[in-house]
Amino acid sequence: MIKNLKERGWTNEDINKAFKIIQSSDKSDVRPFMNKVVYWTALVITVVGNILISVVLVLFLLTLNKLPLYIIIATVALVFGLLFNLILNDIENIDPRHRIIAGVFIPAIALINIYIIAVLTNEMQIALAIENPHSPALVSVIYAIAFATPYVISSYRKK
């Protein structure tokens, strides 16, 4: 590439200046702002997505028991965790502190949310005279672990 530029009459100074412009870390003032907007939007979407998923899981909590339920919960959480991890990894120039916040905050919100839904579903089952109780702690821990797994694995691979 440098050879082609020299053949076209570029001087070494021009080539070095062009490479410095291309490699400059301060490409634009808009990029860092947009990365923050994308980051916070991704966090909000993930929280809302977790709430929607937990509402859908009510049907499974009402009808399924033990292993089939836990497999479905883990699969849904894993897929959603992969999506969240993909979004988080595609955001450029986000400082590591924000990645850690997202890696802790979102699974914690998911854990709390799924726990509340499992408790409410157990109470709904009592009201409907359905005997299919679940441990809210176990359901929420399975969801949170499966959701956080893609993030933990990708963070481990980067190090």
The tens digit of pLDDT for each residue in 91-122 reads 655 666 777 777 788 788 888 888 999 899 99
Whether the CB-CB separation of 148 and 70 falls below 8 Å is answered with no
Helices (H) and strands (E) in the chain, counts: 6, 0
- List, for residues 25-51, the tens digit of each pLDDT value: 555 555 566 667 777 887 888 888 888
Whether the CB-CB separation of 88 and 25 falls below 8 Å is answered with no
Structural domain span for residue 129: 29-158
Whether the CB-CB separation of 113 and 53 falls below 8 Å is answered with no
Whether the CB-CB separation of 39 and 94 falls below 8 Å is answered with yes
| Domain count across the chain | 1
Asked whether residue 13 is domain-assigned, the answer is no
Asked whether residue 109 is domain-assigned, the answer is yes
Asked whether residue 14 is domain-assigned, the answer is no
pLDDT of 57 > 70? The answer is yes
Asked whether residue 6 is domain-assigned, the answer is no
Asked whether residue 110 is domain-assigned, the answer is yes
The tokens of 147 are what? 């959701």
Which pLDDT score, from 0 to 100, does residue 78 have? 94
Asked whether residue 24 is domain-assigned, the answer is no
Asked whether residue 67 is domain-assigned, the answer is yes
Asked whether residue 105 is domain-assigned, the answer is yes
In sequence order, the 6+-apart residues with CB closer than 8 A to the CB of 122 are 133, 134, 136
Which pLDDT score, from 0 to 100, does residue 102 have? 74
